[in-house]
Amino acid sequence: MSAALFLRAEAKDDLHEAFVWYQKRRIGLGFEFLRTVRVVLAAIERSPETFAVALDDVRKAPLPRFPYVAYFVVLPAGISVIAVIHEKRHPRRWQARR
């Protein structure tokens, strides 16, 4: 049985920011980004241990086609997605959320 996955408020804000940015670049691209995120989040929920460790207990799941990474922590209560940010962003952006 897979653990419940939840997005922190900061991760939701990350997704909204990226969605708006991609939609401004090309109508519909933001929705393609969100579809890709949903696929990656489902994979995390199914088997979080298959993703590489980024730092200590934080794991990372890169998004195909988009230069974004989902950072998450496996907790007893479920899987907490702490950030979904551009891979070029400074690591402190997601590390401060741990």
Average pLDDT rounded to a whole number, residues 69-76: 96
Q: Report the pLDDT value the prediction gives residue 94, as an integer from 0 to 100.
A: 78
Q: How far apart are CA 7 and CA 16, in angstroms?
A: 12
Structure confidence at residue 1 as a pLDDT band (50, 70, 90): low
Q: Per the structure block, which two tokens stand in for 17? A: 């920011």
Q: How far apart are CA 78 and CA 58, in angstroms?
A: 13
Q: What is the pTM of this model?
A: 0.93
pLDDT tens digits along 4-63: 999 999 999 999 999 999 999 999 999 999 999 999 999 999 999 999 999 999 999 999
- Asked if residues 63 and 40 have their Cβ atoms less than 8 Å apart, the reply is yes
Class of domain 5-95: alpha beta
Task: Give the domain ranges of the chain.
Answer: 5-95
